[in-house]
Amino acid sequence: MKSDIIAIQNAILKEFYLRFREYDGKMGLSAPLIPRISPQYLISRTIVIGQETNTWFPNKDISDNLYHIIKHNPNNLEKDCLIDRYDNFIQNHAQKYGGKFWEFNRLLYKENIIEGEMIENGLLSHCWMNIFMTEAVTGKNKNEGRPTKNKKVANQVMELQTDLVSRILNILSPKRIIFLTGHSLDYYIQKGALNKTAICKTPLDEKGILQPHELAIFKIEDSSHFLHSTDIIRAYHPTYFMARINTNKGLRKRLDNNKISDSNSKYYTKALVNYLKMKSL
């Protein structure tokens, strides 16, 4: 298994280098989010994909972290991006990080959707990636640096990374992918992660209360595609569905019409968790 993991990790590092080696350094981008692959991943084969890589452990003395890493330190790609960033975050922050994204990741283990501990031997038991592997560094709360809020940045980053997410997914051969991205990024999921493949979106909620734009199963129709048999779910980002969704009047009305007293967030989270628990991989 150790040799398999080394081969997979080296293949991922190579893809990142090949994708960004021609980057000219004119966009002021963050260091890339390169995932560390663990032995436990080869058991769970579960990937959780978020949105953005804003201010990912930046070196504030460097105007463009991506360019500096790729052009000046390509031989240190593993140290710079995996050891100093990914491993650092997983080992020192992920278990106690206060954001809803990581609260949901921890819930996957609490509900035994993924067996074992979230972090074993200092490594994440599933794989975490983002749709945008790099992005503009302007400060975490500044929209001009966030592709999810800035379509110009989003298009530039997607053009730069092209099919990188898809190629990484191909290497990882996942059984399940959970996109915590929201429906506004469906275009980028289809273009960059699923490689422009036709997809069928169906409601995840059997009661029909949650609409496909809120929570959906993605099915790749091409039987020859490498993700054809993968369980693919697209949900809102947990920051929304575990809290802010309670202000969604349309969903509240649908719950009331069905005589369901659960809060919006409780109903949404329960529907998603129940599906993940019942769907065998």
Percent of the chain with pLDDT over 90: 83
Nearest to 158 by CA among 188, 194, 199: 188
Window from 42-46, 136-140, 160-164, 253-257 with minimum mean pLDDT = 136-140
Instruction: Please name the amino acid found at residue 277.
Output: K
- Ramachandran region, residue 45 (left: φ > 0; alpha: ψ -120 to 50; beta: rest): left
What's the pLDDT at 49? 98
- 49 forms beta bridges with 129, 179
pLDDT in tens, 46-81: 999 999 987 788 888 898 999 999 998 888 999 999
pLDDT in tens, 152-198: 999 999 999 999 999 999 999 999 999 999 999 999 999 899 987 78
What's the pLDDT at 57? 87
Orientation angle between helical segments 151-161 and 2-20, nearest 10 degrees? 120
Task: Report residue 28 CA to chain centroid gap.
Answer: 22
Extract the runs of DSSP E, i.e. beta strands, from the chain. Answer: 46-50, 119-120, 123-124, 127-130, 176-180, 199-203, 215-220, 231-235
Which residue's structure tokens are 């501990």? 117
pLDDT band of residue 143 (cuts 50, 70, 90) is: confident
What's the pLDDT at 167? 97
pLDDT band of residue 120 (cuts 50, 70, 90) is: very high
If one counts every other C-beta atom within 10 angstroms of the C-beta of residue 104, the result is 22
Ranges of H-type helices in 39-150: 41-44, 65-67, 77, 88-92, 100-110
Domain span holding position 126: 2-278
pLDDT reading at 137 higher than 80: no
What's the pLDDT at 138? 74
pLDDT band of residue 223 (cuts 50, 70, 90) is: very high
Number of domains in the chain: 1
Opening angle at CA 41, ends 38 and 42, nearest 5: 105
What's the pLDDT at 139? 72
What's the pLDDT at 72? 87
pLDDT reading at 262 higher than 90: yes
What is the tally of helices (H) and strands (E) in the chain?
Answer: 12, 8
With beta carbons less than 8 A apart as the criterion, state whether 255 and 262 touch.
yes
Taking residues 210-224, report their average pLDDT.
Answer: 95
Percent of the chain with pLDDT over 70: 99
Taking residues 217-233, report their average pLDDT.
Answer: 94
pLDDT reading at 118 higher than 90: yes
Taking residues 24-31, report their average pLDDT.
Answer: 93
What DSSP designation does 150 have? -
pLDDT reading at 100 higher than 90: yes
Cα-Cα end-to-end distance for the chain: 21
- 201 forms beta bridges with 218
Find the CATH number of the domain harbouring 139.
3.40.470
What's the pLDDT at 258? 96
pLDDT band of residue 141 (cuts 50, 70, 90) is: confident
What DSSP designation does 181 have? S
